[in-house]
Amino acid sequence: MRQHAVYAVLVVLAVFIASPQALAKDVERIEITELRDKLGASNLFVVDVRTPSSWKQSNHKIPGSIRANHKDITSLDQMIPPGSEVVLYCA
Mean pLDDT estimate for the chain: 78
Which of 45, 49, 30 minimizes the C-alpha distance to 83? 45
Put simply, whether the predicted model's pTM sits higher than 0.85 gets the answer: no
- Domain residue ranges in the chain: 27-89
pLDDT digits (tens, 9 = 90+) for 23-43: 566 778 888 899 999 998 999
- Alpha carbons within 13 angstroms on the beta-carbon side of residue 64 total 13
Q: What percent of the chain has pLDDT over 70?
A: 71
Cα-based distances in Å from 72 to 10, 22, 40, 67, 80: 29, 20, 25, 11, 15
